[in-house]
Amino acid sequence: MADLYINVDEAKLKDDASSSLLHYGSAFYSDIITHAKGIYIYTTSGRRLLDWTSGQMSCLIGHGNPEIVDVITKHAASLDHLFSGMISPPVISLAKRLTGLTPPGLDKAFFLSTGGESNEAAIRLAKFYTGKYEIVGLSASWHGMGGGAVACQYHSGRSGYGPVIPGNYTLAAPNAYRSIFRHPDGTYDWRSELDYGFSLIDRQSTGSLAAVIVEPILSSAGMHPLPSGYLKALKSHCENRGMLLVIDEAQTAIGRAGDMFAFQYDGDGVVPDILTLSKTLGNGLPLSAVVTSDKIATFAKENGYTFYTTHINDPLPAAVGDKVLEIVVRDKLVERSRFLGTILHEELRRLQCRYGCIGDVRGRGLMAGVEIVKDPETKEPGMELGDRIGRKLGDLGLWAQLGTMQSFAGVFRIAPPITISEEELREGLIIMEEAFASTEGTLPRYAGRELTANAERPVRAKL
């Protein structure tokens, strides 16, 4: 299909945007996007950019995926939207397919629009089931813009809006690179940090702790994976206090982080009481899910739990989600994400060896964070430097978002569609190398093409 906006007047569009669009917390990208296909996006001027954020971390299987386009076309024509109390074949099929992929204990699902909405529903369900109201979140978390989600997230957006819903507490967000909790040998002591955090919460709680909500990889915090064993320890803390564990996998699920669901990474059998999905499930369409146990679902049904919205269990987005899951399983994209993720992280660590401004590389699968610092010893955030590197990346044909809010500390968040080929992945890595090499202040650790002695290049693993 031809580009719908191939002959637009860019200057007029920018004037119209300036005069009519309300800003909502993010500066608009300088170019206007007119087309997206596969792993690329295109601007009014005809520039092509590798999309290394999958839109808003959502287009898991690529822009304009022909199978998704076909599903949308057919359902827009025959089964798009229904009364909220009605169910339809795509909704039932999606629920059956999804709960066939989740482990026992995640047995029943319903479907909403956004990730924030699914987290609102999960928080409301946790409060209803436990009969308690206090919610614990991580100090650099992001769970959405509704009242309940905003109250238990601490990444940004709390100042200037008045009081939030009462009964919310915070645990220190795990950060192996920057946390002050250290063992004598300097390694990260996350367990003491977690235990200490709960000791403070116990002192503040009124005795009504309902749930903890966490992401397996804290994306908005700067792509920090929870340490190995963290979820098991967290689940134990929850059980000891009669709390539920809610896991928000808006960005990490359906193969993005190298497992079907990122909470499965440790392989220790930890299962959340409630799982929320969004972004990757809809491949860019507004679709989210709340999944929970038969026990909680039965209690909710028998006692009148309510979360009734206009677009709950809508057939058209459900049909898209069902097709996304089908494609991911059929094409073995989870395994693909794990394999290509090994290459991505290996090459990013190689860049780290070559440029002192890369303070940390982290993440899993096709989900990575590259933290930019002014000085690798002091770890002072390099926001201005990161911004210049980001502009250079865009000039060279790669879109990779730099987070500049305080809890990001200047981190490039990388999450291309998991349908990316190895050649396309390496194309982006070559652009990254060129951007770092041609931007002043990146602290190169080599003379010419040779690495210095204190920055040896890692040996490439055999895959």
Question: Of the listed 120, 127, 190, 251, which one is catalytic?
Answer: 251
Active site residue 56: no
Question: Of the listed 235, 256, 279, 338, which one is catalytic?
Answer: 279
Neighbours of 240 (CB within 10 A): 9
Question: Of the listed 117, 120, 134, 215, which one is catalytic?
Answer: 215
Active site residue 449: no
Active site residue 16: no
Q: Is 109 left (phi over 0), alpha (psi -120 to 50) or beta?
A: beta
Active site residue 326: no
Side-chain half-sphere exposure of 401, counting CA atoms within 13 A: 25
Residue entry with tokens 């039965």: 298
- In sequence order, the 6+-apart residues with CB closer than 8 A to the CB of 231 are 214, 216, 245, 247, 263, 266, 268, 270
Active site residue 52: no
Q: How far is CA 19 from the centre of its chain?
A: 32
- In sequence order, the 6+-apart residues with CB closer than 8 A to the CB of 246 are 119, 122, 123, 126, 211, 212, 213, 214, 272, 273, 274, 275, 276
Helices (H) and strands (E) in the chain, counts: 13, 19
Question: Of the listed 132, 364, 374, 413, which one is catalytic?
Answer: 413
Residue 35 β-bridge partners: 42
Question: Of the listed 120, 134, 189, 248, which one is catalytic?
Answer: 248
Active site residue 349: no
Query: Closest by alpha carbon to 437, among 344, 348, 345, 351?
Result: 351
Question: Of the listed 108, 117, 142, 249, which one is catalytic?
Answer: 142
Residues annotated catalytic, as ranges: 142, 215, 248, 251, 279, 413
